[in-house]
Chains A and B, each alone.
Chain A
Amino acid sequence: KQEVTQIPAALSVPEGENLVLNCSFTDSAIYNLQWFRQDPGKGLTSLLLIQSSQREQTSGRLNASLDKSSGRSTLYIAASQPGDSATYLCAVRVTGGGNKLTFGTGTQLKVEL
């Protein structure tokens, strides 16, 4: 059974800092991995999707990496801004698992002025 863990559960940084969020998964037979952002009381917004054959994906100030063999992914946020404050969740789709995503519990990020 796939388990996804995100550490730390919460993180507070000053504006302008570069930061890394971590995601680990127990079953390396994944089809893809997605990073999402969730604002309080809202739905999820997809940030980046990395296919199993890829090592990283970039969108603006965000860069996500994937190391399947070690069961890890990181989300790098450059030059953080207060508007980046949200909960960041990663989710994996297991090979042969159909359309099911297994989510981590997220990292709650606060970027302070």
Chain B
Amino acid sequence: DAMVIQNPRYQVTQFGKPVTLSCSQTLNHNVMYWYQQKSSQAPKLLFHYYDKDFNNEADTPDNFQSRRPNTSFCFLDIRSPGLGDAAMYLCATSLYGTQSGANVLTFGAGSRLTVL
């Protein structure tokens, strides 16, 4: 009954070869997030969508882009992966508002990226 599904779970790519990670949700949440988590570090927000409104963090590298074609899907594109981009990429969703359950983040299982 996974509600936030990330694919692939494991991705190996070569230095400079573009990668796309996907995230889908069945929760009908209006906010979707992409976090980067390196080993033993805190998750770091890359960007998020509030509906179709895209919000980029100031320190997110230009190498990272995102698309949200509809409510259910969100993609993370890494145009030219470097060794430093090897990490776990976490997708999360939440419902924005004041009702019960709002603002609680639901995470997917993550996509682990290895760069050779």
How many A-B contacts at CB < 8 Å in the complex? 56
Q: Say which size band chain A's interface belongs to.
A: 20 to 34
Known contacts A99-B55, A100-B48; is-contact A105 B40 (Cβ 8 Å): yes
User: Does A49 lie within 8 Å of B107, measured CB to CB?
Assistant: no
Query: Which of B41, B42, B55, B104 meets A34, CB within 8 Å?
Result: B104
User: Does B42 lie within 8 Å of A106, measured CB to CB?
Assistant: yes
A18 within 8 A of partner (CB)? no
Secondary structure dominating the interface of B: strand
Query: Which of B31, B40, B43 meets A99, CB within 8 Å?
Result: B31
Query: Which 3 A-B pairs give the minimum distances between C-beta atoms?
Result: A43-B107, A103-B42, A44-B107
Using CB atoms, name the residue of chain B closest to A6. B42
Give the docked Cα–Cα distance between A101 and B57 (Å). 12
Query: Which of A4, A41, A49 meets B42, CB within 8 Å?
Result: A4
Q: Say which size band chain B's interface belongs to.
A: 20 to 34
A89 within 8 A of partner (CB)? yes
User: Does A45 lie within 8 Å of B107, measured CB to CB?
Assistant: yes
User: Does B42 lie within 8 Å of A99, measured CB to CB?
Assistant: no
A98 within 8 A of partner (CB)? yes
Could you say which residues of chain B place their CB within 8 Å of the CB of A4?
42
